């Protein structure tokens, strides 16, 4: 008898997006949200710079059906892509590139959405595989077995993790 190493879910094509469930009160994730919020000026700068980087923001959405069923807010965190910023309106906009089944009554892939700085729980800018920001992605990666981290990096398109920018007061 021989043992076969279990394949990472990040190393094989998936029929649905991979969502990682993390408790709302997870200290590392709460700290990551605070760091992302404190570094939003760096994100805005990256979004406004000319170039071909992929800019995404992580937003929080309420699942109305689950919230009605349970009697308490059921929240989901999703990445929105193709983020742009309008300095005149002080607002961002982005498009859904994946939507979980729970939200398909209200949102669809490709739909654009406007949002403000205060709505962002994390952000990243990916420049040819060099990831800026992505603080919550770093938390998820740190919690994976070391054997899955390379597959995770490849799954999200990262070959190098740039240092997290300094927070601005």
pLDDT tens, position by position, 44-81: 999 999 988 999 999 999 999 999 999 999 998 999 99
- Helix, strand, or coil here: 73? coil
Task: Locate 131 and state its tokens.
Answer: 């990831």
Phi (first) and psi of residue 106, to 5 degrees: -115, -25
pLDDT tens, position by position, 76-119: 899 999 999 999 999 999 999 999 888 999 999 999 999 999 99
pLDDT at 167: 80
Enumerate the β-bridge partners of residue 81.
95
| Confidence band for 1, pLDDT divided at 50, 70 and 90 | very low
Residue 129, pLDDT above cutoff 90: yes
pTM, full prediction: 0.85
Please work out, in degrees rounded to the nearest 5, the angle formed at the alpha carbon of residue 138 by the alpha carbons of 120 and 107: 40
pLDDT at 15: 52
């Amino acid at each position: 008898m021989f043992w076969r190493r279990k394949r990472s879910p990040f190393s094989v094509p998936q029929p649905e997006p991979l969502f990682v469930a993390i408790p709302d009160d997870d200290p590392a994730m709460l700290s990551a949200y605070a760091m992302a919020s404190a570094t939003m000026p760096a994100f805005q700068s990256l979004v406004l710079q000319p170039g071909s980087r992929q800019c995404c923001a992580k937003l929080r959405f309420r699942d109305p059906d689950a919230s009605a069923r349970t009697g308490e807010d059921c929240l989901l965190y999703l990445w929105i892509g193709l983020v742009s910023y309008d300095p005149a309106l002080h607002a961002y906009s982005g498009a859904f590139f994946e939507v979980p089944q729970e939200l398909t009554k209200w949102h669809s892939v490709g739909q654009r959405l406007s949002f403000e700085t205060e709505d962002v729980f994390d952000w990243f800018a990916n420049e040819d595989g060099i990831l800026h920001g992505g603080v919550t992605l770093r938390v998820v990666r740190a919690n994976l077995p070391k054997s899955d981290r390379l597959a995770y990096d490849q799954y999200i398109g990262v070959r190098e993790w740039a240092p997290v920018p300094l927070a601005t007061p």
